[in-house]
Amino acid sequence: MHAEPGFLKKFASSPAFSEKSRYGSYRFTFTVQEVLKAYSKQFCSGEQPRMRVLRTSLYRQEVMYAVLVHSPDHKERFKDSYPEVSDDPDAVCAYRDGHFIWRPQAMCETHRYKLTVNDHVVKAEKATKPHQWYVWDHITIALLVEDGKVLKFGSDDLLKKLTFCKKDQVIVAPRCYDSRDLAQNLVKRLWGKRTFELKEESSSVEESALEERFEDLSLR
């Protein structure tokens, strides 16, 4: 039995997979590896940070799995309270070879498709009731910092990672959205880069990014 190409993308409609923003017009996008590397240098003296299962928070239509990242210096402080993130094949979140593995259990916010199997091929077909709401889940990583410190990135690195974001359907901070022209002027004023063009995720770029993101996914 095998899956129809690209069928998982039809189920991955939750905000966790969206390129739009719920929190404002500006987004700095770093990989988890980049964040952990910076955290290791600044808070762990170059050692590997420790990762622990912090909590599971259940909201009306959302499940948040929180992972605590801390320095090895605090291993005794948390060892009896929070279990370490392991490579458990049944866990929603696992850690293997320097990479987080997220096994989403709820990928769609609004259920529009159903799984069907025809001639040993798994396909996605339109559901008869396309507006059934389900909870969706995502992973949040909480970095432990103390003594008024913050995780720092270089100004040039931040500029390279900066994009202008469109509003999502649900937003958390209504006052944190600027027009693209205002955002462009603000970035130029802060960075002094007169020739810098603030990148924006267009619908075609968003669709291309989603295609690339799901092309290697498989049904297990």
Do 206 and 19 touch, CB atoms closer than 8 A? yes
Condensed to tens digits (0 to 9), the pLDDT of residues 28-65 reads 999 889 999 999 999 999 999 999 999 999 998 899 99
Do 161 and 30 touch, CB atoms closer than 8 A? yes
Domain locations along the chain: 31-147
Q: What is the mean pLDDT of the segment spanning 175-200?
A: 81
**CA 201 – CA 49 distance, rounded (Å):** 32
DSSP alpha helix (H) spans, 44-169: 75-78, 155-160
What are the residues facing 101 on neighbouring strands? 94
Give the closest residue to 77 by CA, choosing from 141, 144, 32.
Answer: 144
- Please report the pLDDT score of residue 3 as a whole number: 67
Per-residue pLDDT for 9 more than 90? no
**CA 158 – CA 167 distance, rounded (Å):** 21
Per-residue pLDDT for 201 more than 60? no
